Structure 1
Amino acid sequence: MKKLVLATVIASLMSGSAMAATVGVSMAAFDDNFLTVLRNGMQDYSKTLDGVELQVEDAQGDVSKQMSQIQNFIASGVDAIIVNAVDTDATAAMSTLASDAGIPLVYVNRQPVNLDTLPAKQAFVASNEVDSGTLETKEVCRLLTEAGKKEANIVVMMGELSNQAARQRTQDVHDVIATPECSFMKIAEEQTANWSRQQGADLMTNWMSAGLKFDAVIANNDEMAIGAIQALKAGGVDMKDVIVAGVDATQDALAALQAGDLDATVFQNAAGQGKGALDAALALAKGETVETKVYVPFELVTSANVADYAAKN
C-alpha cells in the first residue's frame, strides 16, 4: 500500500511539472502574411505542449479593440498574455493593465515603447530591428557598387509609422548611407505604404507617374517591396535595371527572389519569435526569471542562399 501511495504521489508531481496554462494572445492583424506565420508557429508549438491552451484574438488593426481583448483576458483569468501590438505607443497602458492584475505579459515582434521600463513579469521577444534595415541597405549598397554606380538615387517605402520597426528600419537606411562607403546613395523619396502590398504598388505608381528617377527601392517589409515590383513591371520597367529589397523573407518574397525580381530580403524568424514568446510567457507564469529582451537573429537572404530559406517559413 505504501508503495502504491508513493507511486501515486510521484505521478502527481510529474504531471504537475508540465504546467497546465491558458495564454491569451492578441495579434495586431490576421491578414498580414508575416504575422500569420508568427501566429501559426505559436499555435503549432502550443499543440506540442501538454495542458497549454491559446486564446488567439484578431485586433484588426484597432488599438481600442486590442485593449478590450487584453481586459477580457484579464477578466477571464488567463495565466499569461502575449501581445503583438497594433500601435507600439499604446503599450505602456497595456503593461499597466497586466501588471496591476498580476498577469505576466510578453510582447512579440513589435517593440513596446516602454521597453526599458517594463514592469516585473514582462518581456519582449523579437529580432533586433537595428540589424534588419542595416543588412538590407548594406546589400543594396553592395549591389549598386558592384554595378559601378558612383551616384545612386533610392526610394524608401516605410511601414506604419506607429510601429517601432518601421521607424527603426528607416533609421537604419539613413545610418548606412551616412557611412563613407555608401554615401553615394541619396534618398529621392521616402513615404509610408503601411506594410501593404497594394499601397506599395500605388505609391510606386505615383512615383513613376511623377517621373521620379531612382536606382533602388528599399522597403521596410516584403509586402511593400512586392507591391513596388508589381507596379514597376506593369509600367514596363526591366527588373534588371532597378534593385529592390525588403525584409521578412516571406514565401512570396523568396519566390520573387528566385524569379530575379527581388534582389534581397532579410529573414526574420516569425515562427521562432512565436515559439520564443510562448516559452517566455509560460516561464513567467511559473514564476521563473526571463530576460527582458529576447532576440532571434536576422539573416540576409540573396540569390546565393535563397534555396536554404525556402523551407524555413
Structure 2
Amino acid sequence: MTTRPRLPRLSALAAGAILISATACTTPESGGGGEDDAQGPFTIGLSNGFIGSEWREQMLATLQEAVAEYEAEGVVDELVVESADVDVNGQIQQIRNLVNSGVDAIIVNPNSPTALDQVFAEAADQGIMIVAIDQAVTSEHVTNVVIDQGEWAATGARWLAGEVGEGGEVIAVNGIDGHPANEARWEGASAVFEEAGVEVVANDFAEWDQATGQQVTQNLLASHPDVDGVFVQDGMALGALQALEAEDLVDDVAITGEARVGFMRRWAEQREEDPEYSSIGVPNPPAGSVSALHVVVRMLEGREFAPDALDGNTLYLPIPETVTDENFDERFAAVEDEADTYAVDGHLTPEEADAYFQ
C-alpha cells in the first residue's frame, strides 16, 4: 500500500453534486460497461450520503486525484459526484441521479447495508457496475471493496482489554446509531470485551464528531467516574482525550486513540510529559475510495476476479499498519506536517489491484 501526500482541503464537498470532466471526452447516453465500452473511457459516479466528517473530505479528495490520473490516460472521462447529508431515501435519489446521468459504474459509501438493495438492482438492470466502500452491503449486485470494520474495532478493543484487565469497566463512544460501519465495529469490539471479561458500563453515540465526542465522554464520565477505560471510534478520540484531560484522568483511564494527526500530536505531547503514556491508533484509510476505483476500472474492462479474491461479494482490503507505542515516532514523523484532521491513509496501487484479478 502507498501513503498519500498532503491533501488539499475540499471546501466544495457540501455543495451536493460535483462534476469533474475531461473536455475532450463525451458522456454516454446511458450507463453500461458493456462489450462496446470495455476499453473505456468510463464514466464513474460516486454516491456519498454523509458529509459530516473530514474523513469524507479526504475520501473524496483522494478519489478526485486518482480519477485525474485515469483521465490523463484516457481510461476515465468523468467523475460525477452526488455528495450531501441525506437519509436513505436521499441516497436512493443520489443513485438514481447517477443512473440518469449515464455512468458506467457507481462507487457508493452506503448509509445502510440493506435499504438500498432495490435501487442497486435498478442500476444493475441498466448494466451499471456498483462497488461499495467504507462499509459492506448485502446486495448481490454490489461488490464491496472495504476493510473489515469489525476487525478494525476489535484491534483497538483487544489493546484496551489488555490495559484494563479482566473485570475492568469501560465506557464506549460510538459513531452513528444504525450506521453499517458503526454496527460492524461495535459487534467486533463487543465480542472482544465479552471474551476478555471486560464490562461495558455505558455507551452512547457521538456521530464521528470530535466536539460531540468530547461532550458525550464528559457525560458518560459524570455518570461513571470510576471507569478504567474508554473505547472510542476514530473521528472522536481527540475529543474524548480532551474530556479525560479536563477531569485530570489521563493517567488513570486508558483510551483507544486514532491514527489522525490531531490525536497523534497530543499523543506525542503526552509521551513527553509521561514516557509511560500508551495508546493505539488503527488506521481507517479514506483512500479506500482509490482502491475501489482501481478495482471497478478493471471490472469495467471485463477482467474476472482471481479465485478466492472475494469473500462472498466482498473484497477485503488490508488494514494499514496500526500505530502503536513501538512505531509511533516513525509513523508520526511521516504525517506531523499535515493538518490535525488528516487521517493516516493508504490504498492499493494499480499493480496491487491487478493481483485480485486473473
The TM-score bracket by the shorter chain reads 0.7 to 0.9
CA positional deviation for 1:301 = 1.7
Stretches of structure 1 lacking an aligned partner (at least 5 in a row): 1-15
CA contact (8 A) 2:208 2:236 kept: yes
SS at match of 1:257: helix
Matched, 1:283 2:298: yes
Distance 1:259 1:29, change over 3 A: farther
Residues 52-67 of structure 1: matches in 2 within 5 Å?
A: 52=76, 53-67=78-92
Distance 1:203 1:31, change over 3 A: closer
Other-structure match for 1:198: 211
CA contact (8 A) 2:44 2:105 kept: yes
| Richer in helix (by share) | 1
Measure, in 1, the Cα distance between the counterparts of 2:251 and 2:222. Answer: 20
CA contact (8 A) 1:107 1:125 kept: yes
Q: Normalising by structure 2, report the TM-score.
A: 0.72
Measure, in 1, the Cα distance between the counterparts of 2:329 and 2:143. Answer: 34
Other-structure match for 2:322: 300
Other-structure match for 2:267: 257
CA contact (8 A) 1:245 1:262 kept: no
Matched, 1:245 2:245: no
Matched, 1:170 2:183: no
Measure, in 2, the Cα distance between the counterparts of 1:93 and 1:108. Answer: 18
Measure, in 2, the Cα distance between the counterparts of 1:186 and 1:139. Answer: 15
CA contact (8 A) 1:110 1:163 kept: no
Other-structure match for 1:233: 245
Give CA deviations for 1:59-107 in whole Å, capped at 9, x if unaligned.
3143232221211111111111110012333231232121122111111
Residues 35-46 of structure 1: matches in 2 within 5 Å?
A: 35-46=56-67
Measure, in 2, the Cα distance between the counterparts of 1:94 and 1:162. Answer: 20
Other-structure match for 2:25: none
Matched, 1:107 2:118: no
Other-structure match for 1:71: 96
Other-structure match for 2:354: none
Other-structure match for 2:173: 157
Distance 1:198 1:94, change over 3 A: farther
Given candidates 116, 122, 135, the residue that maps to 2:155 is: 135
Matched, 1:215 2:228: yes
Question: Quick check: 27-36 or 126-135, which moved more?
Answer: 27-36
CA contact (8 A) 2:150 2:189 kept: no
CA contact (8 A) 1:33 1:250 kept: no
* Aligned residues between the structures: 282
CA contact (8 A) 1:257 1:264 kept: no
Alignment RMSD: 2.3
Measure, in 1, the Cα distance between the counterparts of 2:317 and 2:302. Answer: 23
CA contact (8 A) 2:174 2:205 kept: yes
CA contact (8 A) 1:217 1:225 kept: no
SS at match of 2:192: helix
Q: Normalising by structure 1, report the TM-score.
A: 0.82
Stretches of structure 2 lacking an aligned partner (at least 5 in a row): 1-36, 271-276, 335-343, 346-358
CA positional deviation for 1:18 = 6.1
CA positional deviation for 1:218 = 0.4
CA contact (8 A) 2:88 2:116 kept: no
Measure, in 2, the Cα distance between the counterparts of 1:227 and 1:208. Answer: 13
Which one has a bigger Cα radius of gyration?
1
CA positional deviation for 1:25 = 0.5
Counterpart code for 1:124: N
Counterpart code for 1:172: G
Identity %: 24
CA contact (8 A) 2:38 2:301 kept: no
CA positional deviation for 1:17 = 8.3
Other-structure match for 2:236: 224
